[in-house]
Structure 1
Amino acid sequence: MTYIAHIRQQDGAIQTVQDHLIEVQQGAERVGEKIGVKYLAGIAGLLHDLGKNTDQFRDYIQDAVANPDAPPRKGSVDHSTAGGRLLHRRYHHKAASAEVKSTVEWIANCIISHHQGLRDYVSPEKTSPYIERVVTKQLDQYEQAEEEFFKHNSPEQLDEMFKQATDELQQYIQIIKKHKLPPIAGSLLIKYIFSCLIDADRTNTRRFEENEPQAAKVDDSSFFQKSYELLSQHLTNLKKGSTANTPINQLRREMSRQCEEFAFRPSGVYTLSIPTGGGKTLASMRYALRHAIEYNKQRIIYIVPYTTIIEQNAAEIRNILRADDMILEHHSNVVDDKDDERQDGDEGETYDQRKKNLKLARDHWDRPIIFTTMVQFLNTFYAKGTRNVRRLHQLSNAVIVFDEVQSVPVKCISLFNASLNFLHVVGRSSLLLCTATQPALDFVKHKLHFSVEPEIIQNLEHVEQSFKRVELHDRTQDSPSGWGAEELSSFVQEQMREVDSVLVILNTKTAVRKLFEQLNAAEWLQDSGAQVVHLSTNMCAAHRKEMLSGENGVIQRLAKGERIICVSTQLIEAGVNISFECVVRSLAGLDSIAQAAGRCNRHGKDEIRNVYIIKSSDEVLTHLPEIKTGAAKTERVLQQFQDDPESLGYDLLSAKAMTCYFQYYFNDIADQMHYPIPKLEQNLFDLMDRNRYYVDAYRKRHDQKLEVVNQSAIATAEKYFEAISTNATPVIVPYGEEGNELIMDLNGKLEPGEMGELLRKAQQYTVNIYDHELRALEKNGDVYPLLHGHALALREPAYSDDFGVEAKGEGAWEKAII
């Protein structure tokens, strides 16, 4: 009797359950072995689809193929519980040690969850969903599935593998204890094993469906060596430029050299505090390539806060390394897949070609160099379901560079620190935190464990003084209630009498638009010879890129000496290589103000230029609490600077001033860093750590000892996790010829490979629309569905060259970081 895992649609070929189990085992072992969890991952692969060894499932899948228009209900046959039950029954008993029980619980949870997401060991309902699944759930034909499995796999072989898996777990428990990591590290290791299983299973299923041979392994070391040589040549060429020997450029080269020397240090958690405009991108890539070569790292991953930084940095690196196919950018997900996680179904079971094509189009970070966002990074560890966690294993044995690390969302700080500690200690990765405004991540309760002497740049105070190009001026007291658009326009007029370019950065899109319209209506503007440019996240990435660096973009026009006033939200204040003669920044966190200052006199063309801090009365920060709190702490630092400038190094942009600001800031928000969940009156960190509250409640309710060693509520934590609470929906916009063509192409019939390429392009033509804005657009008939409702597109009249998406109202978050 042949039991079926999948039936290929194109030719009816069958993949047997045994073949699928062995192939997934081998795939999971390959990725698990990177960090020494070969057997923990391998057993999960070997047992994950054991439940398909039944007459019931065979009838189900054959019925699905025979009746594609009326298939049986998806998930009507449970095939994912059996493997977890076998493991639990065979090894989890009263006499078993805690290590053996943990090994069972870790692997079995991955098996029973591989179509939904990991289960709670102890839930808010004072139950154990894990135990309910592996012990008490009614499971038809379980004995048949187990008997068939052991016909092809000897019990002795499984016992030996399990012994090896237990040894792996014991080793990691010792490592976690040695480095004094909290229990959340164990939860993250479960997620790592889950990642190995999910990727191996999905990859094997896809290859069978597409009749595709196993892809050849990329030679990472050769690619990194070649890339290092190309970067070295580029840096050599920079020495030949006409401005190569200016003091600033000499200092940039010295800091870059220090990065290369530092790369020979062992894997660790380090900081790179190059001042704004110091050549951070190339210096950090020099470190990453050299370190990857020396320590055989498999991947270099750049984590950035905003899509705008990805656009610029990835383009710069691509131009130097000349290897487009080896560099992946992963921005936002164009397809709305909030309810796309499967229940107990399988990619090969329902033959829903449209959904399968959408799944195959998603990247899983299989390139040597990845550029992605902080939101995608956090989602990989903490978001619900199986889609995000699939790529978690790609973060191990890597060099991971966090650009502008101060932008980690406040509520995620403890979770962020836990994930970095895990990646260093367990994942064998090197982590580099890059910013001119280092947050005090070792000053918080669940702190980041930096390596000894973590800073790469030597004599940092001297470097800061050498890079000083601006003077910060506090004008917040000029009008304590803030300037409106008219007063701010007059202030810009004053500055334009002295300079040729001014950048104004405000905290909300509404305030930016008001000022833009006020400036354009001002009589003085016509006589000034200046042009006003507007930038906001209502514009898609391709639009912003054209506005900034296109043939007639702001950067080109500044280089020609044209007179320009740019009014923008904070999307421009980090990672954009642009320089104005004057910057005006609305009051916000001191780190944001420092980043804004980095857009002024960026290349040191002038000795000193002015940056002004002002208040805007047009900003409503009710829905922007982090900015509001940051602004209040900045006011405290401004007052301290006025009273005792020596304590802050006589410079508001010094490392001393920044540390002072972050300590004030973190003290104020201490309870918010662990991801509070108001509905539960708990925090997400504790749910994945000791889960004390619900464990105690469980014991009181059942008046007995816990049946499980593990206690975390992983599923509940995932349910409530959202890196940025935007309530935003991605919409593809018809910007330019390519944007319009893209929308038309996505309306046609597509092959999986073609769809993947189109969705990657669509990331550049996507705007995240807040719920209230989306409702207004829908009411006007300005949005319509693509891909059978899995994506949305905007009609052309609702997109303007000046403002992008024409939807009124304040957003809950102003940064393009998803």
Structure 2
Amino acid sequence: MTYIAHIRQKDNEIQTVPEHLIEVQHGAEQAGEKIGIKNLAGITGLLHDMGKFTELFRDYIQEAVANPDKPPRKGSVDHSTAGGKLIHERYHTIHAIPQAKVTAEWIANCIISHHQGLRDYISPDQTSPYIERVVTKELQQYEQAKEEFYKHIPPEQLDSLFELATAELQHYIKIIKDHKLPPITGSLLMKYMFSCLIDADRTNTRCFEENETPIQSIDYRSFFEKSYSLLSQHLTTLEQGNYANTPINLLRREMSRQCDEFALRPSGVYTLSIPTGGGKTLASMRYALKHAIQHNKQRIIYIVPYTTIIEQNADEIRSILQNDDMILEHHSNVIDDKFEDRQEDDDGEAYEVRAKNLKLARDHWDRPIIFTTMVQFLNTFYASGTRNVRRLHQLSNAVIVFDEVQSVPVHCISLFNAALNFLHVIGRSSLLLCTATQPGLDFVKHKLHFSDEPEIIQDLDHVGRSFKRVELHDLTQQAPSGWGAEELSSFVQDQMREVNSVLVILNTKMAVRKLFEALNEAEWLQEEGVQVVHLSTNMCPAHRKAVFSGNEEQEGLIQRLAKGERIICVSTQLIEAGVNISFECVVRSLAGLDSIAQAAGRCNRHGRDAIRNVYIVRAADEVLTRLPEIKIGADKTERVLQEYRDNPASLGNDLLSSAAIARYFEYYFYEIEDKMHYPIKKLEQKNLFDLMDRNRYYVDAYKHKHAKPPEVLNHYAIATAEKYFEAISNNATAVIVPYSDKGKKLILDLNGELEPNELGELLREAQQYTVNIYDQELRQLEKNGDVIHLLHGHVLALREPAYSEHFGVEPKGEGTWDMAML
């Protein structure tokens, strides 16, 4: 009898179960071998679809293919439990040693979970979903599946693999203990195993579906060597430019040289504290490329706080390295995160063709250089389902650069530190934390373990003084209740009498819009020929990129500023980090001192003028009730401002000194100490870190309820942790917007029937035309009839009236395309 794993839609070709299992085993082994868990990962691949060795599943899949319009109920045949049940039954016996039991629990959990996500060992309701699945649940034709599996993989061969897997796990348990890392490190290692399985399974299924051979591995070293040579040539060209010998450019050159030398150091956790505007992007890439060559790393990954930085940095690196295909930008998820869970239930596999294509089309970070966001990085470790975790193994044996690391969401600090410690100690990656305002992540409860002497830049205080380009002015006491849009407009007018360009950064989109509208109503603006530009995250990445860098129709903000045109830009904080743009004056509403320092980096950025002015003000139109972190940051900044007024010398006579920034973070971290571990309101403030660590509370509750310890030796509640995890808790939904002809064409193309490869490419392109919409705004757009459902409801897009050239998304459907004000 032929047991079927998959049937190709195009030609009804069959992939047998043995073929699929062996191929997935090899794929998982390849991913696991990077960190020395080849057998742990491989055995999950070998057993993950053992349940397809049954007549029930063969009949199920044949019926699904024969009747695509009326397929059998999803999950009516459970094929994912059998392999996990076999592992638990064979190796988790009463006489088994603890090491074998722990290994069995890890492998079995990965197998039974490969359609949704890892199960809890102990859950909040004092049960063990894991035990319920591998012990309690009755499986039809389980003995048949086991007998058939043993025909291909004899029991003694499986025993030998399991023994090797047990040795691998014990090796890492010892390493975790030796490095004094918390138990959460173990749960992340299990997720790494799971990542190897998921990626191998999805990749093999896609290759069969597309009738293509697996892509040969990329010659990373050759690419990195060529890229390092091109970057060196570019830096040499910069050294011969008109402004090459200005004091700031000489400093940039020296700091870049220090990064190049530091790259010879062993893999570690390091800091790069280049002042804002000091050339972090190229200096850190110089470090990353040389370090990757020196230590045989396979990937360079840039983690940034905002998509704005991705757009600019990726473009800059592409222009230098001259290889678009080797550089991937991953901005956001065009498809709803919850999609996968809707498509697959606990037991089954989605055989509805469209659903399968969407799943297989997802990107898995397989390029040598990746640019992505902090949200996507955290999702890879902690978000639910299988889509995000699929990428986790790509983070090993890599050079990972965190740009503006101070922007880690407050509630994720402990989780972030755990992920980085895992990546360095277990994942064999080098980590570089870049920012002018280092947040001191080694001084919190669950701290980050930096390497010895981690800072790349020598004599930071001297560098900070030499880099001084602005003077900070505290105007917060002038208007205790804040300035409204009219008063801010008047203040900006005063500054424009002295300069040609002003940047105003406010904390909310509504405040930005009010000021933009107030400025455009001012008569002096038209009389003096001043242009006003608006920026916010309601504009898609392609739109913001056009505003910054221009397009075929018009010059961008960067070019017009360089020409000395009179411009006012009103923006949210998206412009603060990583945007290589320079204004003659900056006005920043009260926020965290780190944000103010970043805003100051957009003023006199290249030091070509004398000292310029940055003003701190209060904005009356800001409502921060939904932005508690910004409010806390503003409060702590006020405290530092008062101390500076009382005794400037105690803070180095400079509000942007390292002493002032350190004082700010000391106050800030003290205030948010209890929030760093991701408290969960719905679980009465139990924290997510503990759910993936010792899970103390629910383990104690289990013992109390059952009057005995749990049957399992692992206690992680990974499924519960994933259920409540959101890197940014904003209840937002991604929508594709009709910006430019390209955006409109993407919406049309995504409304047809597509194969996984072309669908995957379109979804990657769509990231540039995607905006995250709050639920309240989405409901308004739907009420207006401005939401289009693509790919049978799995992707959302907007109609043209819901998007404007000035503001981006217009929930009230008042979009306009007047170019005059740009």
Residues of 2 paired with 1:734 and 1:55: CA distance? 49
Q: Which runs of 5+ in 2 are unaligned?
A: 814-822
- Counterpart check, 1:416 vs 2:420: no
Of 722, 727, 730 in structure 1, the residue corresponding to residue 726 of structure 2 is 722
- Counterpart check, 1:606 vs 2:609: yes
Give matches, 1:152-163, under 5 Å.
Answer: 152-163=152-163
Partner residue, 1:3: 3
Partner residue, 1:814: none
Letter in 1 for 2:76: S
- Counterpart check, 1:743 vs 2:760: no
Residues of 2 paired with 1:158 and 1:92: CA distance? 14
Letter in 2 for 1:773: E
- Counterpart check, 1:785 vs 2:789: yes
For residues 283-325 of structure 1, what are the alpha-carbon distances to aligned partners after superposition, in whole Å with 9 as ceiling and x for unaligned?
A: 0000000000011000000000100000000000000001100
- Is the 2:195–2:393 contact (alpha carbons within 8 Å) kept by the matching residues of 1? yes
3-state SS, counterpart of residue 503 of structure 2: strand
Partner residue, 2:627: 624
- Is the 2:225–2:293 contact (alpha carbons within 8 Å) kept by the matching residues of 1? yes
For residues 586-633 of structure 1, what are the alpha-carbon distances to aligned partners after superposition, in whole Å with 9 as ceiling and x for unaligned?
A: 000001100000000000011200000000111100101000000000
- Is the 2:330–2:370 contact (alpha carbons within 8 Å) kept by the matching residues of 1? yes
Q: Quick check: 419-428 or 638-647, which moved more?
A: 638-647
Give matches, 1:521-600, under 5 Å.
Answer: 521-550=521-550, 551-600=554-603
Residues of 1 paired with 2:578 and 2:459: CA distance? 24
Residues of 2 paired with 1:754 and 1:121: CA distance? 39
Letter in 1 for 2:769: Y
Give matches, 1:453-532, under 5 Å.
Answer: 453-532=453-532
How much has 1:345 moved relative to structure 2?
A: 8.1
Letter in 2 for 1:680: L
For residues 112-165 of structure 1, what are the alpha-carbon distances to aligned partners after superposition, in whole Å with 9 as ceiling and x for unaligned?
A: 000110000000010000111111111111111111111111111111111111
For residues 50-103 of structure 1, what are the alpha-carbon distances to aligned partners after superposition, in whole Å with 9 as ceiling and x for unaligned?
A: 111111111111111222221111111111111111111111122222211110
For residues 696-726 of structure 1, what are the alpha-carbon distances to aligned partners after superposition, in whole Å with 9 as ceiling and x for unaligned?
A: 0000111112211100100000000011111
Give matches, 1:60-71, under 5 Å.
Answer: 60-71=60-71
Residues of 2 paired with 1:324 and 1:217: CA distance? 18
Give matches, 1:148-547, under 5 Å.
Answer: 148-341=148-341, 342-344=343-345, 351-547=351-547
Residues of 2 paired with 1:293 and 1:438: CA distance? 27
Of 655, 661, 664 in structure 1, the residue corresponding to residue 664 of structure 2 is 661
How much has 1:339 moved relative to structure 2?
A: 3.1
- Is the 1:505–1:585 contact (alpha carbons within 8 Å) kept by the matching residues of 2? yes
Scaled by the length of structure 1, what TM-score is found?
0.97
How much has 1:241 moved relative to structure 2?
A: 0.6
Q: Quick check: 38-47 or 65-74, which moved more?
A: 65-74
- Is the 1:53–1:145 contact (alpha carbons within 8 Å) kept by the matching residues of 2? yes
Residues of 1 paired with 2:756 and 2:248: CA distance? 49
- Count of residues paired in the alignment: 808
- Counterpart check, 1:807 vs 2:811: yes
- Counterpart check, 1:647 vs 2:650: yes
Residues of 2 paired with 1:568 and 1:454: CA distance? 35
Residues of 1 paired with 2:337 and 2:532: CA distance? 39
Partner residue, 1:713: 717
Residues of 1 paired with 2:740 and 2:140: CA distance? 57
Scaled by the length of structure 2, what TM-score is found?
0.97
- Is the 1:44–1:111 contact (alpha carbons within 8 Å) kept by the matching residues of 2? yes
Partner residue, 2:692: 688
Residues of 2 paired with 1:23 and 1:740: CA distance? 40
Residues of 2 paired with 1:614 and 1:332: CA distance? 33
3-state SS, counterpart of residue 119 of structure 1: coil
Residues of 2 paired with 1:619 and 1:146: CA distance? 64
Letter in 1 for 2:639: R
- Is the 2:651–2:657 contact (alpha carbons within 8 Å) kept by the matching residues of 1? yes
Cα 1:671–1:808, aligned 2, differ >3 Å: closer, same or farther? farther
Letter in 2 for 1:669: I
Residues of 1 paired with 2:63 and 2:683: CA distance? 43
Letter in 1 for 2:45: G
Partner residue, 1:108: 108
3-state SS, counterpart of residue 62 of structure 2: helix
3-state SS, counterpart of residue 340 of structure 1: helix
Residues of 1 paired with 2:78 and 2:541: CA distance? 43
Q: Which runs of 5+ in 1 are unaligned?
A: 810-818
- Is the 1:573–1:598 contact (alpha carbons within 8 Å) kept by the matching residues of 2? yes
3-state SS, counterpart of residue 504 of structure 1: strand
How much has 1:14 moved relative to structure 2?
A: 1.4
Cα 1:197–1:436, aligned 2, differ >3 Å: closer, same or farther? same
- CA-based RMSD of the aligned residues comes to 1.3
Residues of 2 paired with 1:346 and 1:248: CA distance? 61
3-state SS, counterpart of residue 445 of structure 2: coil
- Is the 2:71–2:352 contact (alpha carbons within 8 Å) kept by the matching residues of 1? no
Residues of 2 paired with 1:140 and 1:359: CA distance? 27
Partner residue, 1:757: 761
Residues of 2 paired with 1:416 and 1:3: CA distance? 44
How much has 1:391 moved relative to structure 2?
A: 0.7
Q: Quick check: 797-806 or 426-435, which moved more?
A: 797-806
Give matches, 1:123-134, under 5 Å.
Answer: 123-134=123-134
3-state SS, counterpart of residue 717 of structure 1: helix
How much has 1:352 moved relative to structure 2?
A: 2.3
Q: Quick check: 5-14 or 323-332, which moved more?
A: 5-14
Residues of 2 paired with 1:749 and 1:96: CA distance? 52
- Is the 1:9–1:351 contact (alpha carbons within 8 Å) kept by the matching residues of 2? no
Letter in 2 for 1:743: I
